């Protein structure tokens, strides 16, 4: 209860949560709101917003409903954001925990491996991965996960390094708990808050990365996504602003909302900041 009270004190975080809930509801309800596929031409091409009451956000050059595109795009954005972050967190936590807990040569090997990924620009590598494995929702999710785990690994390693010499860990060693058990039951619960904060921001980055890939034409060609909508609309910017503006606003709001939530979580979970707002 205390946690929610602390979180609710941050109005920005509340607004962010509100926006994200709306986006999530729209994403879940997309097939109910728009039973026809977002790829289907449903009206005249290039209808301006509210020119036809049936299409409040207008239609694109093929007569596809922009609003339907936004709703189905929300599914893709959230799906890729969540899954790729989950995968990245699993990889990052495993590598960081092993490196931080065992130290020594294992640490050296794992950190050099991590640095290898950190030295390559993340977006360039995502492009290469998607291009190699042919653009599909799976390859995009994996590519984003592969380029975004290193910061998690470094964060977790740092926390493990500092926690493993604490008394409660030593006590666990003395009573004979195994290494993995200590890592998962003793140390990890103490690292959860920074991981959650980092992960929430990674979701935002993942959504942006997916949009950028789709904008460049490297998205899944069978899934409607916001980045794709902007990429396709780019050439018509002078004639039909609504085709690129609405998906742009959708990306902006969603990413902003997630960042606000991340900020709020950070405030609520970080014991050092407790009382900052009092």
Residues near other proteins (CB under 8 A) are: 37, 39-41, 45-46, 61-63, 134-135, 217, 221-222, 231-232, 234-236, 238-239
Choose between 31 and 179: whose C-beta lies nearer to other proteins: 31
Alpha helices (H) in 51-165, listed in sequence order: 66-102, 104-119, 122-132, 137-148, 150-163
Least spacing, CB of residue 207 vs other proteins, in Å: 21
Choose between 151 and 219: whose C-beta lies nearer to other proteins: 219
Tokens representing residue 36 in the block: 């026809």
Least spacing, CB of residue 131 vs other proteins, in Å: 8
Sequential DSSP letters for 202-222: HHHHHHHHHHHHHHTT-S-TT
Least spacing, CB of residue 29 vs other proteins, in Å: 22
Which secondary structure element, helix H or strand E, spans residue 39, and what is its range?
none
Least spacing, CB of residue 144 vs other proteins, in Å: 18
Task: Judge residue 277's burial from the number of C-beta atoms within 10 Å of its C-beta, 0-12 exposed, 13-18 middle, 19 or more buried.
Answer: exposed
Task: Yes or no: say if 199 and 89 are a contact pair by the CB < 8 Å rule.
Answer: yes
Pairwise CA distance, residues 127 & 204, whole Å: 18
Least spacing, CB of residue 233 vs other proteins, in Å: 10
Give the number of other CB atoms < 10 A from CB of residue 164: 18
Choose between 179 and 217: whose C-beta lies nearer to other proteins: 217
Task: Yes or no: say if 53 and 114 are a contact pair by the CB < 8 Å rule.
Answer: no
Pairwise CA distance, residues 28 & 33, whole Å: 10
Task: Yes or no: say if 99 and 110 are a contact pair by the CB < 8 Å rule.
Answer: yes
Choose between 94 and 136: whose C-beta lies nearer to other proteins: 136
Choose between 23 and 232: whose C-beta lies nearer to other proteins: 232
Pairwise CA distance, residues 206 & 145, whole Å: 8
Choose between 96 and 135: whose C-beta lies nearer to other proteins: 135
User: Tokens 């002078």 — which residue?
Assistant: 238
Least spacing, CB of residue 62 vs other proteins, in Å: 5
User: Tokens 């936590």 — which residue?
Assistant: 93
Choose between 62 and 90: whose C-beta lies nearer to other proteins: 62
């Amino acid at each position: 209860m205390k946690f929610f009270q602390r979180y609710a004190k941050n109005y920005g975080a509340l607004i962010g949560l509100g926006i994200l809930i709306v986006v999530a509801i729209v994403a879940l309800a997309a097939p109910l709101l728009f039973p026809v596929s977002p790829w289907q031409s449903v009206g005249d091409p290039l209808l301006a917003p509210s020119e036809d009451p049936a299409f409040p956000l207008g239609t694109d050059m093929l007569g596809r409903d922009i609003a339907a595109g936004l709703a189905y795009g929300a599914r893709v954005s959230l799906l890729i954001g969540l899954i790729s972050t989950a995968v990245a967190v699993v990889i990052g936590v495993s590598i960081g925990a092993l490196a931080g807990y065992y130290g020594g040569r294992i640490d050296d090997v794992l950190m050099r491996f991590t640095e290898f990924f950190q030295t390559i620009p993340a977006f360039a590598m995502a492009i290469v991965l998607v291009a190699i494995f042919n653009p599909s929702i799976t390859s995009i999710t994996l590519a984003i996960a592969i380029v975004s785990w290193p910061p998690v690994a470094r964060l977790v390693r740092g926390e493990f390094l500092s926690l493993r010499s604490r008394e409660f860990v030593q006590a666990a060693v003395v009573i004979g708990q195994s290494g993995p058990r200590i890592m998962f039951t003793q140390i990890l619960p103490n690292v959860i808050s920074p991981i959650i904060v980092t992960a929430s921001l990674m979701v935002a980055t993942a959504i942006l990365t997916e949009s950028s890939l789709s904008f460049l034409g490297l998205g899944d060609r069978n899934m409607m996504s916001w980045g794709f909508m902007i990429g396709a609309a780019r050439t018509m910017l002078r004639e039909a602003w609504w085709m690129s503006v609405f998906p742009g606003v959708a990306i902006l709001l969603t990413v902003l909302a997630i960042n606000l939530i991340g900020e709020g979580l950070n405030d609520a979970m970080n014991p050092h900041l407790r009382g900052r707002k009092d």
